[in-house]
Amino acid sequence: MAIGACFRCEGGKGPVANLCFGGKGKLDPHRSFLIELIEQDGDMTMPELAGALADATGVQAHPDAIGRFH
């Protein structure tokens, strides 16, 4: 995943170790949900994450936006 390394700096481990979430965008309120999905299945693709987010919350996010989420 090309979304940064901030989580690693905070001692993260596993599939979410390279995630860098933050900011004020529409994805920010769903940070914990996205992390939970990735921890459950570290092989999820960005389109799969976008679909799961839409199904669970109704929030439509382009897979590229999730990939750039930081």
Q: What is the pLDDT of residues 6-52, one digit of tens each?
A: 444 445 555 555 555 555 688 889 989 999 999 999 899 999 999 99
Contact status, residue 70 vs residue 23, Cβ threshold 8 Å:
yes
pTM listed for this prediction: 0.65
Cα 12 to chain centroid, rounded: 14
Contact status, residue 59 vs residue 53, Cβ threshold 8 Å:
yes
Domain coordinates in residue numbering, the chain: 6-67
Cα 2 to chain centroid, rounded: 11
Torsion of CA 46, 68, 34, 29, to 10 degrees: -140
Q: What is the pLDDT of residues 36-49, one digit of tens each?
A: 999 999 899 999 99
Count of beta carbons in the 10 Å neighbourhood of residue 44:
18
